[in-house]
């Protein structure tokens, strides 16, 4: 019996990425999968590119009424919180609910009430506990870019306006180089988590712009925070994925003292509602239409905390992500074993705590 994957339309504003680009869908079709793709006006790939490789096409959001019970619903971002009907299918997506984020019980209860199953992309791991696919590199790359854009705007006495995606990274780099060329100086950046996938993306972007960077990782943070060195830089980019309680990297008290050169903070990890957040200085995310906010009582330090940064480069990030995910997708024919079996058990363990 073939696996039926149903690629749903995304609902998050300005989310142009997809978990399954057309060329990857074609490989799955050749492997015997059945694939249905919903129309989605914001997806970076047009619907005809899916039709041309042999996918079946459906109307946006029609999975709720039309997807067979054995179809696996594939998406990226979480559902809108105001929609609460029970979920009866198997779903692959980011849910942002396993670290007891705000509203996590409501999210998981939708699956338990409908006897559905969540296979959270963030928790698809191999037998060593390592994630099999992630957008980390492009999150770091884009996050560093937005933090520099924010800094440039501040030098001009302006606020960074709404963002739109770039066709590719070369256009992004060229744009930033042009903006920086009109300034007398460049910012100094500190990246914490510089050796990880996310941090390496941020570091690559900074290096492409010939910007002075302090690349911090485990050795530099071993003493435990908070870290006064952050204040010596113009931009602080946090790229650390935290799964346990640690001392904060920076605090409200440090910002209130108004010392140093810090002007922009970018929290690429973006988890203001989680108990493990190492940047307990904010309680709301920012968005592409309003990329930065001024932190209260902070000498006008700007915060960037966008939870879908890779959508700034949707084509490259989608293709890279699905290339990583493909070996695991091909194993979904045995969904109770391996990576998928572990993901289901994680869902059962987490939902038991509702």
Copy the structure tokens of residue 128: 């060593």
308 catalytic residue (yes or no): no
Measured CA to CA, the distance from residue 318 to residue 331 in angstroms comes to 20
Q: d(Cα 98, Cα 108) in Å, to the nearest integer?
A: 9
**Spatial strand order in the sheet of 189-192:** 213-216, 189-192, 235-238, 264-267, 302-304, 292-294
Which member of 24, 77, 89, 350 is catalytic? 77
The question of whether 77 is a catalytic residue gets the answer yes
Measured distance CA(153)–CA(263) in Å, rounded:
11
**Rounded distance between C-alpha atoms, residue 20 and residue 35, angstroms:** 10
Tell me the C-alpha distance between 91 and 108, whole Å.
12
Strand partners for 56 = 36
CA distance 140 to 310: 8
Structure tokens at 2: 């073939």
Q: Which two tokens stand for residue 165?
A: 């995606």
Tokens 């970018």 correspond to 266
Cα separation, 335 vs 354, whole angstroms:
24
Q: Which residues contact 345 (CB under 8 A, 6 or more apart)?
A: none
Catalytic pick among 24, 96, 233, 315:
96
| Positions marked catalytic | 77, 96
């Amino acid at each position: 019996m073939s696996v039926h994957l149903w690629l749903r339309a995304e609902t998050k504003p300005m989310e142009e990425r997809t978990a399954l680009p057309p060329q990857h869908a074609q490989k799955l079709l050749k492997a015997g999968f059945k694939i249905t793709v919903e129309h989605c006006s914001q997806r970076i790939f047009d619907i005809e590119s899916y039709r041309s490789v042999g996918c079946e096409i459906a109307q946006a959001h029609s999975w709720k009424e039309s997807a067979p019970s054995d179809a696996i619903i594939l998406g990226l971002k979480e559902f809108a919180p105001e929609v609460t009907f029970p979920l009866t299918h198997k779903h692959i997506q980011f849910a942002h609910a396993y670290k007891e984020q705000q509203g996590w019980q409501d999210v998981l209860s939708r699956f338990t009430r409908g006897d559905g199953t969540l296979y959270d992309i963030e928790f698809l791991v191999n037998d060593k506990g390592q994630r099999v696919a992630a957008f980390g590199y492009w999150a770091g790359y884009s996050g560093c870019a937005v933090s520099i854009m924010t800094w440039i705007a501040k030098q001009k006495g302006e606020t960074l306006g709404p963002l739109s995606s770039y066709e590719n990274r070369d256009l992004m780099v060229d744009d930033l180089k042009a903006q920086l060329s009109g300034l007398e100086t460049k910012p100094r950046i500190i990246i914490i988590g510089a050796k990880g996938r996310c941090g390496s993306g941020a570091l690559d972007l900074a290096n492409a712009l010939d910007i002075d960077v302090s690349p911090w990782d485990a050795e530099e943070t071993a003493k435990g925070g908070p870290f006064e060195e952050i204040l010596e830089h113009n931009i602080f980019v946090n790229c650390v994925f935290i799964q346990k309680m640690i001392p904060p990297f920076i605090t409200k008290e440090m910002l209130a003292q108004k010392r140093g050169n810090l002007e922009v903070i970018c929290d690429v990890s973006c988890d203001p509602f989680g108990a493990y957040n190492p940047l307990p200085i904010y309680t709301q995310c920012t968005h592409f239409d309003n990329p930065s906010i001024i932190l209260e009582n902070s000498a006008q330090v700007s915060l960037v905390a966008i939870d879908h940064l890779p959508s700034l480069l949707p084509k490259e990030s989608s293709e890279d992500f699905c290339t990583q995910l493909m070996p695991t997708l091909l194993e979904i024919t045995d969904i109770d074993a391996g990576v998928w079996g572990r993901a289901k058990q994680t869902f059962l363990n987490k939902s038991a705590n509702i």
